[in-house]
Amino acid sequence: MTDMTSRPDRGGEQPSRPPAVQTSVPPIPEQAGVETSAPLIPAQTGAERTADLPEAALPAPADVPPTVASPATDDGPAPKPDRAQYAVCAFLALVGALVIVDATRIGHAISSADPIGPKPVPILLGILLLVVAAIYAVDVARGGTGEPEAGEDVDLSSPIDWRTVLLLIGAFLVNAVLIERLGWVISGTLLFWGSAFALGNRHYVRNLLIAVALSLITFYTFAIGLGVNLPAGVLQGIL
């Protein structure tokens, strides 16, 4: 029986073989010297990609109507004006008118040192009072009201302390009556001391010393700084 294939060691020819199929395998990035910045992620389907998106990036459904802003709610009826505030407006207007009328009675005392004279300043003050009264009246008519006191140590429900109010009024009246007779230093001392007593301070000696110091300071401030001599009274020639 003869061999169908001849062996090379016996001098026969080597039979032909089918060519080998080479499969190309891509090199691993680490072996090829390429650094990868992110791991390879397998491809995802459309449904999976949509599920990973945040809610803000999802497209709005076509059948959902756009939201319509609701109309602003009514805050209720407009506040009524506080008619008691009109009395304050009338008082300011009355004071402004009186200041203007009184200023017109001032003579034209014009000198080289004062070319304007004493009349324009009170007239300007009266006009400003009238303007403030008009603006205040317009604000009250539009519903403007003052904010109540919201201090921690203020009880809005407590009654008015008429004793303190009357003592303060008495201190000012005593000063007005005695300022020409006794002079500013004495009447001013009584004013400062009486005001401290009315407000509840009971340090009599300390308050008296402070009142005398304040009276002397204001007396010399007006005399030296402003050139206005306050009444000296019984202390004329001493001060």
Q: How many residues does the chain have?
A: 239
Look at residue 208 and tell me whether its pLDDT is greater than 90: yes
The residue among 119 and 126 whose pLDDT is bigger is 126
Task: Tell me the range of 44-53, 114-123, 206-215 where mean pLDDT is highest.
Answer: 206-215
pTM: 0.43
What are residue 168's phi and psi, to 5 degrees? -65, -40
The greatest distance separating any two alpha carbons of the chain, rounded to the nearest whole angstrom, comes to: 167
Residue with tokens 């005695």: 178
What's the pLDDT at 31? 52
DSSP 160: P
Segment 85-97, tens digit of pLDDT: 888 899 999 999 9
What's the pLDDT at 77? 57
Look at residue 63 and tell me whether its pLDDT is greater than 80: no
> Which amino acid belongs to residue 234?
V
Would you kindly state where each structural domain of the chain is located, as residue ranges? 85-106+115-141, 162-235
Task: Tell me the range of 119-123, 138-142, 179-183, 233-237 where mean pLDDT is highest.
Answer: 179-183
What's the pLDDT at 174? 94
Structure tokens belonging to residue 33: 């010297």
Structure tokens belonging to residue 138: 């317009």
Region 185-198 average pLDDT: 94
Going by C-alpha positions, the residue among 203, 201, 198 that lies closest to residue 162 is 198
Measured CA to CA in angstroms, residue 25 lies from 28, 35, 85 at distances of 9, 19, 96
Confidence bin at 118 (pLDDT 50/70/90)? confident
Q: Give the up-direction half-sphere exposure of residue 88: CA atoms within 13 A in the CB hemisphere.
A: 13
